[in-house]
């Protein structure tokens, strides 16, 4: 149901329900200590109480699951502002504070530290005491706002339970044919964003190391630690087999301080082997060339082989160098292998140090050294993304302050880069670093959209504190003391962090003849600027005071130094709620050009919110729908995403960018579902959702042309048909998209008009994705084809049930 209609009904309901109510009412917290949700009870006479099962707010403190709790909440009202203080955790010395203007929408929480333990204990005791008798009188309008919020939540809950496939199933039995007419109104058009369709690449689910990054050796530099994963250490993914050799991890004289660990093999009698298992094995293709490189130091000869099930498929002999030196050879494989291993075998008495043992296929995407896995990169490139957001959402703002992503730690020689733990519980080599991300963007014709932390880590981190985990300190707050945080050996303050962001812009766009930073880029093979236009600041953070202070500082600093950069801000992890509302308030007040919205919702949510952007303000801040997906990889998910996208296209004057999330997931290492593309070492498995993204990416436009759809059936039929008409001014092509959520085939008479079609071809490309039945149970489209369609100023399109049809009408060749 349309949002506007629902709003009208709700207003009527609220009027009729709450007319003749008292001016004010008694309210008291009604929560069990140690739970997450702040709820109240109210009373007219202070004697009989009614519980309201709707959260004023939820504790947003600390790690998901284990820490988000509230104790001894106390409410107050000063005649204007409602306030609440609670203890989020009985041991951390912090209190939680929040306030509200209307009793329904509460400000994102702040968690000030209490200066001493005794002071904190006093506050806890006071809160405990006061909370027992905390009854306040508030205007009835406050309660009414909360009850209205409850009604909205209940309505959304009910819509969530509405499965539009099931509720539309009976349409299949109707005997009358479903016929519709789509009339294109050429006089009614508007400019829309040409950059609507993009991708969000996050190093999640082994998307980078072991995934898109083509390195075949796992833990090539012996830098895995228990921080990455509790069972891991510098030897992970390696093992020593056989006798006569000892194997140790050393740190005395590394190649580089950022790559502190290396292996030492001491062999008395040859026969032992140091083996790397790769990423679930090493997959090799017969007759292909592989670049093997490794650093050696010491004395003795050894052999490096690729071995598959006992069969050597390639091998080379090395002699250790006196000092650390990188040796490089090319291996050609004699047979293919699914699960080969890399075997290092001393062939005489040895004492050798080894580090940075790397194996890359020569065939990478676009042939770059230190490049990307070709098949995977090609499937991504086929999406025709106009931009790439990277290097992650949570992976960007990190697991505690120490884990905030620093782009500078990811460029330069590989062994100089600083590896890091990945918030998704594994290791980031940073071999796929900012240079490689920018190069990939250039290779696929996409704008780079790096997103970096707003000076605060992920608010749900378990590392480095609690609450919002604080933020990077400002110099002034340190009062002359050194910052407790460093990266690459340098002290980390907000001032240095801002400089780091400014340095990124210079590194990407500076003149390699004059700028030291740009010289790093040139040395890595890209003398020309990368032409960075966008910079994302923050990722769905809690919009509390700690965040706002840093966010404003960074935005201000970037604006002053680089007014040419378009900043993309953040508005929380959901489509509504405190962070969304306060994030938007900040965006409007601070004129932030674009904000990044995130929502992972059900198919029902998307079905009932296809008008989500219709009411957005056309002026001012625009939207980047940076992370969205409909919680599944069945065809029904892809269908509703297509239907939603036609509506996003209609609103692409406001929504200027969008990206499905997450993009990649390796089978067996998936930390998040659903994803757009699954893969293993051999195969790339695009999902039904992928084909929708690809169809829209390959057929986007920069002008929206309004059209009118008349359907011969009832509303249940009309609301299961969506469409959009766009023009791509670069090619002149006209693109019509029709999405049918109907269980029955239909046909649409498309009226383009004689005049408008002058200069267009009489044939068009018709791409169809369709599913005969059970779209809610199956993951693959039955039909996924493109064919030629004869068209005219008026023509009929046969629309299969559960389908996406895209007609691309080309400009006639002169
Ligand atoms: O896309 C997966 C995660 O979802 C992102 O890291 C984060 O931004 C969001 O919560």
State the average pLDDT over residues 329-345.
Answer: 98
The pLDDT mean for the chain works out to 95
**Which ligand 1 atom is the nearest neighbour of the CA of 672?**
2
Check pLDDT > 70 for residue 134.
yes
Q: Is the peptide bond before 662 cis (omega within 30 degrees of 0)?
A: yes
Condensed to tens digits (0 to 9), the pLDDT of residues 613-653 reads 999 999 999 999 999 999 999 999 999 999 999 999 999 99
**What share of the chain in percent tops pLDDT 90?**
91
pLDDT at 11: 43
Distance CA 404, CA 554 (A): 15
Residue to probe by mutation, ligand 1, list 205, 451, 540, 626, most atoms within 8 Å of CB = 540
Distance CA 172, CA 745 (A): 9
Helix and strand numbers, DSSP H then E, in the chain? 16, 42
**Which ligand 1 atom is the nearest neighbour of the CA of 395?**
6
pLDDT at 19: 57
Q: Is the CB of 661 under 6 A from ligand 1?
A: yes
Condensed to tens digits (0 to 9), the pLDDT of residues 663-705 reads 999 999 999 999 999 999 999 999 999 999 999 999 999 999 9
Give residue 519's Cα distance to chain centre: 31
Check pLDDT > 50 for residue 236.
yes
Q: Is the CB of 381 under 6 A from ligand 1?
A: no
**Which ligand 1 atom is the nearest neighbour of the CA of 661?**
1
**Which ligand 1 atom is the nearest neighbour of the CA of 627?**
1
**Spacing, Cα 194 to ligand 1 middle (Å):** 25
State the average pLDDT over residues 417-437.
Answer: 97
Condensed to tens digits (0 to 9), the pLDDT of residues 88-113 reads 988 889 999 999 999 999 999 999 99
Looking at residue 756, what DSSP letter applies? Answer: G
Check pLDDT > 90 for residue 3.
no
**Spacing, Cα 573 to ligand 1 middle (Å):** 8
pLDDT at 469: 66
**344 - beta bridge partners?**
274, 304
Name the residue among 609, 619, 545, 617 with its Cα closest to residue 574.
Answer: 609
Q: Is the CB of 393 under 6 A from ligand 1?
A: yes
**Spacing, Cα 414 to ligand 1 middle (Å):** 27
Side-chain-side CA neighbours of residue 678 (13 Å): 16
Please give the structure tokens belonging to residue 489.
């050996």
Q: Is the CB of 202 under 6 A from ligand 1?
A: yes
- Please confirm, yes or no, whether 277 is among the known catalytic residues: no
Name the residue among 474, 472, 536 with its Cα closest to residue 504.
Answer: 536
Distance CA 101, CA 505 (A): 40
Q: Is the CB of 540 under 6 A from ligand 1?
A: yes
Q: Is the CB of 539 under 6 A from ligand 1?
A: yes
Sequential DSSP letters for 633-680: -SHHHHHHHHHHHHHHHHTTTTEEEEEES--EEETT--SSS--SEEE-
**What share of the chain in percent tops pLDDT 70?**
97
pLDDT at 464: 63
**Spacing, Cα 206 to ligand 1 middle (Å):** 14
Check pLDDT > 90 for residue 12.
no
**Quick one: pLDDT band at residue 161, thresholds 50, 70, 90?**
confident
CA torsion 260→261→262→268, rounded to 10°? 130
Angle between helices 434-443 and 374-381 (to 10 degrees): 50
**Quick one: pLDDT band at residue 8, thresholds 50, 70, 90?**
very low
Q: Is the CB of 573 under 6 A from ligand 1?
A: yes
Q: Whose C-alpha lies nearest to ligand 1, atom 9?
A: 393
Q: Whose C-alpha lies nearest to ligand 1, atom 4?
A: 393
**Which ligand 1 atom is the nearest neighbour of the CA of 423?**
6
**Spacing, Cα 540 to ligand 1 middle (Å):** 8
**Which ligand 1 atom is the nearest neighbour of the CA of 396?**
6
**Quick one: pLDDT band at residue 20, thresholds 50, 70, 90?**
low
**Spacing, Cα 542 to ligand 1 middle (Å):** 14
pLDDT at 468: 62
Residue to probe by mutation, ligand 1, list 200, 658, 662, 665, most atoms within 8 Å of CB = 662
Check pLDDT > 60 for residue 14.
no
pLDDT at 13: 43
**Which ligand 1 atom is the nearest neighbour of the CA of 539?**
8
**Which ligand 1 atom is the nearest neighbour of the CA of 600?**
4
State the average pLDDT over residues 356-361.
Answer: 98
Name the residue among 378, 367, 504 with its Cα closest to residue 433.
Answer: 504
**Quick one: pLDDT band at residue 4, thresholds 50, 70, 90?**
very low
Q: Is the CB of 662 under 6 A from ligand 1?
A: yes
**Spacing, Cα 244 to ligand 1 middle (Å):** 48
pLDDT at 465: 58
Q: Is the CB of 392 under 6 A from ligand 1?
A: yes
**Spacing, Cα 19 to ligand 1 middle (Å):** 43
**Spacing, Cα 393 to ligand 1 middle (Å):** 5
State the average pLDDT over residues 488-514.
Answer: 97
Condensed to tens digits (0 to 9), the pLDDT of residues 428-453 reads 999 999 999 999 999 999 999 999 99
**Quick one: pLDDT band at residue 9, thresholds 50, 70, 90?**
very low
Q: How far is CA 419 from CA 18, 504, 767, in A?
A: 59, 18, 44
Distance CA 632, CA 392 (A): 21
**Quick one: pLDDT band at residue 466, thresholds 50, 70, 90?**
low
Of 144, 540, 627, 641, which residue is the catalytic one? 540
Q: Which helix (H) or strand (E) holds 399?
A: none
Q: Whose C-alpha lies nearest to ligand 1, atom 1?
A: 662
**Spacing, Cα 392 to ligand 1 middle (Å):** 7
Q: Whose C-alpha lies nearest to ligand 1, atom 5?
A: 393
**Quick one: pLDDT band at residue 463, thresholds 50, 70, 90?**
confident
Q: What is the 3-state secondary structure (H, E, C) of 68-82?
A: CCEEEEEEEECCCCE
The string over 770-784, giving b where at least 16 C-beta atoms fall within 10 Å of a residue's C-beta and e elsewhere, is: bbeeebbebbebbeb
């Amino acid at each position: 149901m349309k949002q506007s209609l629902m709003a009208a009904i709700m207003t009527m309901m609220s009027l009729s329900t709450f007319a003749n109510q008292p001016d004010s009412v008694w309210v008291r917290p009604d929560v069990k200590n140690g739970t997450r949700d702040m709820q109240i009870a109210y009373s007219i006479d202070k004697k009989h109480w009614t519980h309201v099962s709707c959260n004023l707010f939820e504790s947003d403190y600390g790690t998901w699951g284990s820490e988000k709790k509230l104790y001894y909440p106390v409410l107050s009202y000063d005649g204007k502002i409602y306030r609440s203080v609670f203890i989020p955790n009985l041991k951390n010395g912090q209190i939680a504070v929040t306030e509200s203007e209307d009793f329904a929408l509460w400000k994102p929480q702040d968690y000030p530290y209490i200066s001493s333990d005794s002071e904190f204990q006093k506050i806890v005791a006071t809160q405990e005491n006061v909370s027992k008798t905390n009854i306040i009188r508030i205007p009835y309008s406050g309660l009414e706002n909360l009850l209205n919020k409850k009604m909205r939540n209940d309505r959304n809950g009910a819509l969530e339970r509405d499965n539009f496939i099931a509720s539309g199933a009976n349409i299949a039995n109707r005997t009358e044919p479903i016929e519709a007419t789509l009339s294109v109104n050429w006089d009614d058009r508007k400019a829309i964003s040409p950059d609507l369709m993009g991708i969000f690449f996050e190093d999640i689910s082994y998307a980078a190391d072991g995934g898109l990054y083509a390195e075949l050796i796992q833990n090539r530099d012996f830098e895995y630690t228990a921080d990455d994963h509790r069972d891991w250490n510098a030897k992970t993914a390696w093992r020593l087999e056989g006798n006569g050799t000892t194997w140790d991890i050393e740190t005395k004289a590394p190649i580089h301080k950022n790559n502190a660990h290396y292996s030492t093999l001491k062999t008395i009698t040859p026969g032992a082997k140091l083996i790397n298992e790769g990423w679930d094995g090493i997959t090799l293709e017969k007759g292909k060339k592989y670049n093997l490189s490794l650093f050696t130091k010491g004395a003795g000869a050894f052999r490096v082989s690729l071995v598959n099930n006992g069969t050597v498929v390639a091998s080379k002999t090395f002699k250790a160098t006196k000092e650390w030196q990188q040796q490089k050879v090319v291996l050609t494989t004699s047979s293919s292998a699914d699960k080969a291993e890399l075997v290092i075998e001393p062939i005489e008495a040895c004492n050798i140090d080894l580090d940075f043992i790397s194996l890359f296929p020569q065939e990478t995407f676009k042939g770059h050294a230190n490049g990307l896995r070709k098949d995977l990169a090609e499937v991504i490139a086929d999406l025709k993304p106009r931009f790439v957001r990277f290097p992650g959402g949570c992976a960007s703002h990190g697991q505690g302050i120490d884990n905030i992503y620093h782009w500078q730690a990811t460029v330069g020689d590989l062994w100089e880069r600083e590896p890091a733990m990945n918030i998704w519980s594994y290791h980031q080599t940073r071999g796929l670093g900012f240079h490689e991300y920018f190069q990939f963007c250039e290779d696929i014709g996409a704008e780079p959209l790096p997103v970096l932390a707003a000076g605060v880590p992920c608010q749900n981190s378990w590392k480095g504190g609690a609450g919002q985990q604080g933020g990077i300190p400002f110099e002034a707050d340190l009062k002359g003391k050194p910052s407790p945080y460093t990266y690459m050996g340098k002290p980390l303050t907000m001032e240095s962090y801002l400089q780091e962001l400014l340095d990124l812009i210079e590194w990407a766009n500076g003149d390699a003849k004059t700028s030291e930073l740009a010289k790093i880029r040139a040395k890595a093979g890209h003398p020309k600027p990368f032409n960075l236009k966008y910079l994302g600041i923050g990722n769905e953070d809690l919009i509390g005071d700690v965040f706002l202070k840093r966010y404003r500082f960074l935005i201000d600093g970037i604006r002053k130094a680089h007014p040419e950069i378009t900043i993309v801000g953040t508005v929380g992890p959901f489509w509504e709620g405190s962070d969304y509302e306060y994030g938007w308030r900040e965006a409007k007040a601070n004129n932030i050009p674009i904000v990044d919205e995130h929502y992972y919702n059900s198919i029902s949510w998307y079905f009932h919110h296809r008008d989500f952007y219709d009411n957005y303000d056309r002026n001012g801040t625009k939207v980047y729908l940076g992370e969205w997906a409909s919680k599944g990889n069945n065809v029904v998910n892809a269908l509703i995403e297509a239907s939603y996208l036609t509506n996003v296209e209609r609103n692409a004057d406001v929504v200027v960018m969008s990206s499905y999330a997450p993009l990649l997931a390796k089978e067996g290492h998936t930390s998040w579902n659903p994803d757009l593309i699954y893969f293993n070492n051999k195969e790339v498995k695009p999902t039904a959702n992928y084909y929708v993204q690809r169809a829209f990416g390959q057929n986007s436009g920069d002008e929206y042309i309004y059209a009118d759809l008349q359907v011969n059936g009832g509303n249940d039929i009309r609301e299961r048909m969506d469409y959009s008409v766009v023009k791509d001014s670069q090619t002149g092509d006209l693109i019509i998209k029709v999405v049918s959520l109907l269980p029955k085939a239909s046909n649409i008479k498309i009226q383009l008009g004689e005049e408008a079609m002058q200069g267009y071809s009489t044939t068009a490309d018709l791409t169809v994705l369709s599913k005969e039945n059970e779209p809610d149970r199956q993951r693959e489209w039955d039909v996924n084809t493109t064919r030629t369609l004869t068209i005219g100023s008026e023509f009929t399109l046969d629309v299969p049930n559960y389908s996406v049809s895209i007609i691309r009408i080309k400009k006639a060749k002169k």
